[in-house]
Amino acid sequence: DQQVKQNSPSLSVQEGRISILNCDYTNSMFDYFLWYKKYPAEGPTFLISISSIKDKNEDGRFTVFLNKSAKHLSLHIVPSQPGDSAVYFCAASTSTGNQFYFGTGTSLTVIP
Amino acid sequence: GAVVSQHPSRVICKSGTSVKIECRSLDFQATTMFWYRQFPKQSLMLMATSNEGSKATYEQGVEKDKFLINHASLTLSTLTVTSAHPEDSSFYICSALGSWETQYFGPGTRLLVL
């Protein structure tokens, strides 16, 4: 079964507003989480990560929040820009880093 | 939910040997699978697109004679790293395209070439 889930396959947001992408996981051993951005015909590009010792990590317009008790993480993009339109994948791994578990992605469309 | 497995999860081999990595879609059929290599900064580089029953499509700069891809069935694609060298050491991830163009990733294979 999928250990990392992104339950919203798509999301549309107006330019300038906040985009919130959600991700849930089931394995409590996961302690490192990543978000990737993917354009068509390209590989996923690393965006931002967070380790389980933190509950928030910020990088410019991108902020990732981790709620360990709920096994939930989210990516906030503010303000959203049309260039942010892409598929976003979340992924999780354990500290050994030997395996990654990806969600199925959320397609974000930012409307100008 | 759809699951994609990779085998082995980790492999250590000597320089000059060949290593085969399997990617399986466990509960769905996938006519299209992708092979990625993870690079520093953790981005995934698309190496090739594997289509069942036909030749793989390789991305520019990827040596098709070195990275042999076979997609012999709707649930299995294999990547063989031939004559592996230390610079081939990396993390290789596959993904399978399911219904509604949803991409399901495998957990990855860590290759270390000594």
Between CA A73 and CA A56 the distance in angstroms is 9
A62 pLDDT higher than 70: yes
Closest CA to A51 of A89, A1, A97: A97
Is B95 in contact with A49 (Cβ distance < 8 A)? Answer: no
Quick one: CA torsion of B42, A93, B33, B67, rounded to 10 degrees? Answer: 60
Is A98 touching B (CB cutoff 8 A)? yes
Between CA A25 and CA A41 the distance in angstroms is 27
Between CA A53 and CA A35 the distance in angstroms is 17
Range of A42-46, A61-65, A90-94, B55-59 with top mean pLDDT: A61-65
Which ranges of A33-77 would DSSP assign to H, the alpha helix?
Answer: none
- From chain B, the residues in CB contact with A104 under 8 A are 1-2, 102-104
Is B1 in contact with A1 (Cβ distance < 8 A)? Answer: yes
Residue predicted with more confidence, A2 or A80: A80
Q: How confident is the model at residue B101 (pLDDT cuts 50, 70, 90)?
A: confident
- From chain B, the residues in CB contact with A99 under 8 A are 9, 107-108
Q: How confident is the model at residue B113 (pLDDT cuts 50, 70, 90)?
A: very high
Closest CA to B80 of B29, B11, B30: B11
